[in-house]
Chain A
Amino acid sequence: MIEIAGMACIAIGLLFDLLGCIGLVRMPDIYNRLQAATKCVTFGTCSIMFGTFLMVGFSSTGVKALLCIVFVALTAPVSAHALSRAAHKSGIKLWDKSVIDKYREDYPNE
């Protein structure tokens, strides 16, 4: 029973990984790519880790899988934040059909 639950977790994670990478190819500019890819791939990898934990149980490997979930969920949004700020400061424009850019209005010369 618990093996089937683990396999279901791994399958859901793989589905979201694939959707995130499709979003990385399809979206028009770097900020939208970061949105789609970071959310879907982080959730997918955490779900694969949780499936591994369910299959292995409370052994040394399972506890390492739980720790790895915490690491990935804490570090992936921080790196996305750093990348988007660096891209905006290095002068990459938003997509042409974007609605508003308050950050460019407040810091016009960076």
Chain B
Amino acid sequence: MAAPKKPPLPVILMANDLIDGEVVFRTATGWSSEPREALIAGNAQAADALEAEGIAEMSRNKVVDAYLVDVVLGENGPQPRHFRERLRTLGPSIRPDLGKQAQSVIEPRGVPHVSL
């Protein structure tokens, strides 16, 4: 099987915490549930290093399903380009009271509600 295509830069590393399943972001020192604390890899070398850390952390049984996610950088920190990953940084769009968006520091953004 061909190696999966690398996402465009810059990237962050996202995963789910093993014990509680929460979406977590790789930081300079460990894992955080806050996307704004994510370590940003802006070049191929840094991205490879981040990816390698993800694999190592999975084998250390800290997280599951770690993979690189391409982001745009804004004033609130990195924001995934793809709507699926953006939803993972927020929570269900239909329940603003749940998920990361429900915690005070993160404003729901980027994935508009379907308002008709």
Q: Do A and B come from one complex?
A: no
A binding-site residues for B, Cβ under 8 Å: none
Chain B contact residues, CB within 8 Å of chain A: none
